[in-house]
Amino acid sequence: MAELFYDDDADLSIIQQRKVAVIGYGSQGHAHSLNLRDSGVDVTVGLREGSPSREKAENQGLKTATVADAVAGADVVVILAPDQVQRHVYAEDIAPNLKDGAALVFGHGFNIRFGYIKPEAGHDVVMVAPKGPGHLVRREYADGRGVPVIVAVEQDASGAAWELALSYARAIGGLRAAGIKTTFTEETETDLFGEQAVLCGGASQLVQYGFEVLTEAGYQPEVAYFEVLHELKLIVDLMVEGGIAKQRWSVSDTAEYGDYVSGPRVISPVVKENMKEVLADIQSGAFAARFIADQDAGAPEFKELRAKGEAHPIEATGRELRKMFAWIKPNDTDYVEGSAA
């Protein structure tokens, strides 16, 4: 059974007594910074020269500095730049300015697990990874709740790294929901597998194939969109509330029977074998190496695949339909439809 931790298990004063530098003000960076500040922690946001985020952070009343200056003044450095740039930021601006004994906090284990960042022995290295997007991490905190976090210690130089990690997890609101103890290896490998095989990769491909099969058979794209994409949210909400069993309890007997007889035809055992191959590529570092090599070359493969995804006919159908849906109000004002293409 996993070990769970809540607010009462953490001493908030530990992180309140440290100077914290949060590097990056994106999805996770803005949420961690604002939640820490509202929990009474001394936060400085470290940003690159000319960063468009400086004004955003300062408008929220946060202190900002260059990455180098923020790190030089910090007891705790939180690395929330994108995974593919972290090792460059670490080598150029973090490592040369890191105080003796300063702790490093990660929001995902990628760079430590695959050896792209190798901190010196004198630093605590911990992870507090919210299991939700940054905008939800902030919204839940502001509403008095929290997004669950998973917490790990890779390197315990001080002998008190775990207490620090829990204190940090409490300050960002994670322990209002729950903290689960893990390791950098488990978090990294399961996170990558989940997003590739099921949540992002698997679900996106499933929806696209479903849309293609219906529209190629002559059905209206708008109707297909509803059946294979829009209703997915209702199904997933039921699963989150009560597992697959509650979803099956809620749908009609027709849908439930169809689930049992057709689900395994669509997602056949060969898919499970494919998933095992995906996991093997994650565990061996092959996926990480491919991602980093492409990013270092200017991300040609990544950009091509993103453009191809945006051009799938389901996106145009959805854009038109959603304009007519008075009941869908996007929460995130900084997302612009079609901007990725």
The binding site for substrate consists of 252
| Of 327, 314, 324, 53, residue with least CA distance to 338 | 314
Question: What residues are paired with 150 via a beta bridge?
Answer: 129, 180
Question: Which of Mg ion, ligand NDP, none does residue 85 bind (CB under 5 to 8 Å by kind)?
Answer: ligand NDP
Minimum CB separation of residue 268 from ligand NDP in Å reads 31
Residue 298 has which token pair? 């200017």
Q: Which residues from 73-102 bind ligand NDP, rule CB under 6 A? A: 80-83, 85, 89
* Binding site listing: 25-28, 48, 51, 53, 134, 191, 195, 227, 231, 252
Minimum CB separation of residue 45 from ligand NDP in Å reads 8
User: Residue 47 or residue 171: which is nearer to ligand NDP going by CB?
Assistant: 47
CA dist., res. 301 & res. 305, Å (int): 6
Query: 3-state DSSP call for residue 231?
Result: coil
Choosing from 87, 108, 113, 123, the residue that interacts with ligand NDP (CB under 6 A) is 108
Minimum CB separation of residue 226 from Mg ion in Å reads 8
Only one residue has tokens 């260059």, namely 66
User: Residue 194 or residue 313: which is nearer to Mg ion going by CB?
Assistant: 194
Question: Which of ligand NDP, Mg ion, none does residue 129 bind (CB under 5 to 8 Å by kind)?
Answer: ligand NDP
Minimum CB separation of residue 69 from ligand NDP in Å reads 13
- Complete DSSP assignment for 277-319: HHHHHHHHTHHHHHHHHHHHTT-HHHHHHHHHHHTSHHHHHHH
Minimum CB separation of residue 168 from ligand NDP in Å reads 14
User: Residue 64 or residue 114: which is nearer to Mg ion going by CB?
Assistant: 114
Residue 260 has which token pair? 């049992």
Catalytic residue among 108, 135, 230, 312: 108
Residue 150 has which token pair? 């998973």
Question: Interface with ligand NDP includes 112 (CB under 6 A)?
Answer: no
The alpha helices in the chain, defined as continuous H runs, are 12-16, 27-38, 53-59, 67-72, 83-89, 110-113, 134-142, 161-171, 174-177, 184-193, 201-216, 221-225, 232-250, 253-266, 269-284, 286-296, 300-310, 313-323
Q: Which residues from 48-77 bind ligand NDP, rule CB under 6 A? A: 48, 51-53, 67
Question: Interface with ligand NDP includes 25 (CB under 6 A)?
Answer: yes
Strand 63-66's sheet: what is its strand order?
4-5, 179-181, 149-155, 125-130, 103-106, 76-79, 19-23, 42-47, 63-66
Question: Interface with ligand NDP includes 26 (CB under 6 A)?
Answer: yes
Question: Interface with ligand NDP includes 146 (CB under 6 A)?
Answer: no
Residue 335 has which token pair? 């997302």
Choosing from 107, 148, 179, 202, the residue that interacts with ligand NDP (CB under 6 A) is 107
* Binding site listing for Mg(2+): 191, 195, 227, 231
User: Residue 74 or residue 105: which is nearer to Mg ion going by CB?
Assistant: 105
108 catalytic residue (yes or no): yes
Minimum CB separation of residue 144 from ligand NDP in Å reads 21
Residue 196 has which token pair? 């590739």
Active site residues: 108
- Which spans of this chain sit near ligand NDP (rule: CB under 6 A)? 24-29, 47-48, 51-53, 67, 80-83, 85, 89, 107-108, 129-130, 133-134
